Structure 1
Amino acid sequence: MTDTASAPLRRTPLHAAHLKAGARMVPFGGWDMPVQYAGLKAEHEAVRTGAGVFDVSHMGEFRVTGPDALAFLQHVTPNDVSKIRPGRAQYNWLPNDRGGLVDDIYIYRVADSEFLVVVNASNIEKDWAHLNALKGSFDVQLTNESDQWALLAVQGPQAAERLAAHATPDLLAPKKNAYFAGTLFGMDVHFARTGYTGEDGYEVFVPADQAEALWEKLLETGIQPAGLGARDTLRLEAGFPLYGHEFSDDLHPLSTHYTWVAKDKAHHGREGLQSAPTQKLIGLKLEKVPVREGYPVKQGGRVVGHVTSGSSSPSLGHPIAMALVEAGAAEADTFEVEVRGKDHPATRTDVPFYRP
């Protein structure tokens, strides 16, 4: 979970609150972030059985407005942005021109000609440069609002109910991917019924200067603070790809089970995406030994790929992993993963590994 970049680490508006809550902080994507508070397993289980809150304020937010806002986003992404109604959200990609991804993103439609684009923290500067380079003659305005917002992800089967007692409007009725303005503990916020854990919940956009007050109110209700460690095991169990692991500038995104994102439409990078991927992302189940990113995956003793993400699964009680392997080897039932010079048996399994 660490990133050893030499530049000074950035801090979210909740940095002091994390220290107060006893968080262990680690470098991640250029930020000083909490990896755990009470412990990874306890935080993981809190989200699977109740409600937990993550600080994801390191994510970037770009506002896209103007008469050509929709046309511009259609040009830079492969998913069909025209399908997003105001008050809804959509998962999407920013393809480059060589068959990889600049980033994977979420797009929230605020109004007919206004969108909010949320990007990965480590890619903010890269994404900003990429979008501005593609503006061309589009009548569109791009605004980087990343420093204006804090983003809190309240996730778990009890998340909506816990928030609803202190919020307006009703949080129990909106469906997944809803996006709307409201209040939480009397503060003006925006709610998005989205998340990265496989559980129900809301991501709450709040002005940065109100983030700490909102965080404290959430903790007072008994919602468990959760760190990057639990966020990673939760997303892995749900089979969610992570940029820098399953996606990158050089990995073909159609190697993954997210092929549904690429629609049949004209867009930047389409030619690169149309090339056939030579690898396929698979799920692996192991019996005892956890495996990590980069570990070799073998078939009959021959290296056919590598682990992209791996961990012990708190929900399932055994190690799991996602791995990129040669397309011709992907349908095999059994593999081996090399750990410190020793091969350990692994069984191909469906992704997601866990369904709530």
Structure 2
Amino acid sequence: MHQALRDQQTASGAQLAPAGENGVTIPLTFDNDAATLQAAQNGVALYDRTHWGRIRVSDSDRLRFLHNQTTNRFEGRQPGEGCDTVFVTSTARTLDLATAYMLEDAVLLLVSPGKQAELIAWMDRYIFFADKVKLDDITTETAAFTLVGPESAKVLEVLGGTSLSDEAYGTHQEITLAGIPVRVAVGSGVAIAGYTLIVAADQAADLWQALVEKDAVPMGETVWESLRISQGRPVPGHELTEDFNPLEAGLWHTVSLDKGCYIGQETIARLHTYRGVKQQLWGVALSAAVEPGTPVAVDGQKVGVLTSTVKTTEGDRGLAYLRTKALEPVPEQVQVGDATGTLIALPFVSHDYP
């Protein structure tokens, strides 16, 4: 269903990654990485999130069900609202960070690439006989793009839409852009202004072309990875694993502390009440390239582990979980394998107890 989009991207210079186990190919680069980073900071970049998973949760118990299965509050939310939430295990270990959009008759979940089948199977375990909840994988039926950068609102306005610039994160509505019905939501997936767009798969290529013609600079996966590491967005398999919980990942904005019981709630409540977050996610500016999994040390003592790395125009950068006690005070320098590192605060995460 997404072949027309891929053909169009390839024709405009996209270099595609080889198809993975799920058969999905994605643009690695458009041979414009420096321009894309500049656009994300000062203009508008266009990232294709079509390979991310999309799940439709419907029927009358959908809000109660998600309220009980994830970290954020769903009961009482109205159509047009949205929020980030985390799927966790019974011991509050992270499975995935998702964005939820409340529709009139369903909740649309945007989840990490390749995670939709796993999360549907996970949720299905908790649907009991009397529950009115339906789960549908709509990844192939839809496409998703993200506009990243301070000029994103202008692109929407030029194409005939409203910017939603004064609305809260996650707020969304269906808007016609260049004659195409598109669900437009506030938020870029990182701590930079922008919008997420969801469209029918058979109109994705036309929407992509319309956005590019209005000076949105195409962004490949290589630049997105650099951006998400510099911003501190955690992903499954690296920062979101059963070794870590949402509070350690700094995802306080995804956690409702007063909504009552849900899977993992007891652990999260205890960590909050007793200020028991034992490790925190930090950025690291590295003197040389280092592999994820490398221990992080201070004065010869291991204090954490590197979880992601990327080479940027400013040098090698990484994400690492570090023991909270080792950050009192924050060390001027850390050792990461054969490299030295300087800790960097991350815009997407928070270390402060609410």
Q: State the TM-score bracket (shorter-chain normalisation).
A: 0.7 to 0.9
Separation in structure 2 between the aligned mates of residue 185 and residue 246 of structure 1, nearest angstrom: 38
Give, in angstroms, the shift of residue 195 of structure 1. Answer: 1.2
1:130 is displaced (CA, Å) by 0.7
Q: Aligned partners of 2:3, 2:44: CA distance in 1, in Å?
A: 22
Tell me by how many angstroms 1:119 deviates.
1.2
**Which TM-score applies when normalising by structure 2?**
0.86
Partner secondary structure for residue 255 of structure 1:
coil
Question: Which residue in the other structure is 1:234 paired with?
Answer: 227
Pairs within 5 Å for 1:129-168 = 129-136=121-128, 137-168=130-161
C-alpha separation in 2, matches of 1:350 and 1:73: 31
Helix, strand or coil at the partner of 2:68:
helix
TM-score by length of 1: 0.86
Q: Which residue of 1 aligns with 2:297?
A: 298
Query: Is 2:92 aligned against 1:93?
Result: no
Selected match of 2:10 from 11, 19, 36:
19
Q: Return closer, same or farther for 1:32/1:270 CA change in 2, 3 Å cut-off.
A: same
Does the CA-based 8 Å contact 1:197-1:231 persist in structure 2?
no
Cα distance in 2 between the residues matched to 1:57 and 1:267: 30
**Contact conserved, 2:176 with 2:182, CA < 8 A, in 1?**
yes
| CA shift for structure 1 position 188 | 1.1
Q: Does 1:56 align with 2:55?
A: no
Residue pairs, 1:98-109, within 5 angstroms: 98-109=91-102
Give the CA deviation at 1:166.
Answer: 1.0
Using the TM superposition, give the Cα deviation of residue 64 of structure 1 relative to its aligned residue in structure 2, in angstroms: 1.8
Q: Counterparts of 2:92 and 2:237 in 1: how far apart (Å)?
A: 15
Aligned position for 1:127: 119
1:324 aligned onto 2:324? no
Cα separation, partners in 2 of 1:220 and 1:260, compared to 1, 3 Å? closer
Work out the CA distance in 2 between the residues paired with 1:230 and 1:29: 22
Report the equivalent of 2:67: 74
The AA in structure 2 aligned to 1:293 is: P
Deviations 1:11-48 (A, max 9, x none): 66622122112122225684321111123222111211
Deviation at residue 327 of structure 1 after TM alignment: 3.3
Partner of residue 285, structure 2: 285
What is the DSSP-based 3-state SS (H/G/I as helix, E as strand, rest coil) of the residue aligned with 2:140?
Answer: coil
Deviation digits for residues 80-124 of structure 1 (CA, Å, limit 9, x no counterpart):
12363321110001111233122111110112x521111112211
- Residues 291, 197 of structure 1: CA spacing in aligned structure 2 closer, same or farther, 3 A cutoff? farther
> What is the number of residues matched between the two proteins?
338
Measured in 1, the distance between the counterparts of 2:348 and 2:51 equals: 27
Q: Is the 8 A contact 1:299 1:334 kept in 2?
A: no
Please list every run of 5 or more consecutive structure 2 residues that lacks an aligned counterpart in the other structure: 350-354
Per-residue CA deviation, residues 121-172 of structure 1 (Å, 9 max, x unaligned), is 2211100101111111322222221211011112211111012111234554
Task: Give 1:223's aligned amino acid.
Answer: A
Structure 2 equivalent of residue 6 of structure 1:
none
Percent identity among equivalent residues?
25
- Offset at residue 191 of structure 1 (A): 0.6
1:347–1:173: structure 2 CA closer, same or farther, 3 Å change rule? Answer: closer
Aligned pair in 2 of structure 1 residues 172, 347: CA closer, same or farther (>3 Å)?
A: closer
Contact kept, 8 Å, 1:12 with 1:150, in 2: the verdict is: no
Q: Which moved more, 1:326-335 or 1:58-67?
A: 326-335
Residue of structure 1 in register with 2:352 after alignment: none
Question: What amino acid does structure 2 have at the position aligned with 1:128?
Answer: I
Counterpart-to-counterpart distance in 2, 1:260 and 1:197: 13
Asked if the contact 2:37/2:223 (under 8 Å) is kept, the reply is yes
Matched, 1:268 2:263: yes
1:311 paired residue number = 310
> Residue 211 and residue 109 in structure 1: after superposition, are their counterparts in 2 closer, same or farther (change >3 A)?
same
Contact kept in structure 1, 2:51 and 2:113, CA below 8 Å = yes
Distance in 2, Cα, partners of 1:160 & 1:260: 24
Query: Residues 195 and 201 of structure 1 are in contact (CA less than 8 Å); yes or no, is this contact kept in structure 2?
Result: yes
Separation in 1, partners of 2:96, 2:43: 31
Q: Is the 8 A contact 1:237 1:313 kept in 2?
A: no
Secondary structure class of the residue paired with 2:244: coil
Give the Cα separation in 2 of the matches to 1:44 and 1:199. 12
| Aligned partner (choices 349, 352, 356) of residue 344 of structure 2 | 349
C-alpha displacement of 1:203: 1.2
Q: Which moved more, 1:57-66 or 1:289-298?
A: 289-298
Partner amino acid, structure 1, of 2:6: H
Q: Distance in 1 between matches of 2:163 and 2:250?
A: 34
- Which residue, out of 198, 208, 231, partners 2:191? 198
Q: 2:179 aligns with which of 161, 173, 186?
A: 186
Q: Tell me how far apart the structure 1 counterparts of residues 87 and 348 of structure 2 sit (CA, whole Å).
A: 27
The aligned amino acid for 2:233 is F
Determine the C-alpha separation between the residues in 1 that align with 2:282 and 2:161: 42
- Mind listing any 5+ residue stretches in structure 1 that lack a counterpart? 1-9
Shift in CA distance, 39/166, structure 1 to aligned 2, threshold 3 Å: closer
In 2, Cα distance between the equivalents of 1:233 and 1:12?
26
Q: Which amino acid aligns with 2:17?
A: V
> Per-residue deviation at 1:192?
0.8
Cα distance between partner residues in 2 of 1:323 and 1:119: 22
